[in-house]
Amino acid sequence: MGTLPRRDAAVFSLVIGSIQLALGVTYLAAAPPGVNGGGQQALHGAAGMFLFGLTYVYGGLDYLLALGSRGLGWFCGLVGVCGLVLAAAWSGADPFLRCV
């Protein structure tokens, strides 16, 4: 939209992505093992955080290091496919994702 310089947006993306990755690690470390399937449910919960945190970090690095957007496009496509797989995995356990 032209209101924020791309370099500033890239730094902001790196900060947001890093925070999201740190929260994912903290969530996994704090999740009690063995409670209602503990480990697997914790991994499912953190997977979305890691996918989108890495996307923010990659987007920021893409601009700052002039990597070219082709790799970012492929990465975002992979994140989209993984998001669909995660939605399918969560649909059995989450009442909001179940079809009526």
Provide the Cα torsion 71, 72, 75, 79; round to 10°: -170
Task: Tell me how far apart the alpha carbons of residues 47 and 32 are, in angstroms, rounded to a whole number.
Answer: 17
The answer on pLDDT for 26 being more than 70 is yes
Q: What is the average pLDDT across 39-53?
A: 81
Q: Which amino acid is at 45?
A: G
Q: How confident is the model at residue 68 (pLDDT cuts 50, 70, 90)?
A: confident
pTM, whole model, 2 decimals?
Answer: 0.74
Q: Where are the alpha helices (DSSP H) in 31-90?
A: 38-64, 69-90
Answer for the pair 89, 50: CB distance below 8 angstroms, yes or no. Answer: no
The answer on pLDDT for 15 being more than 70 is yes
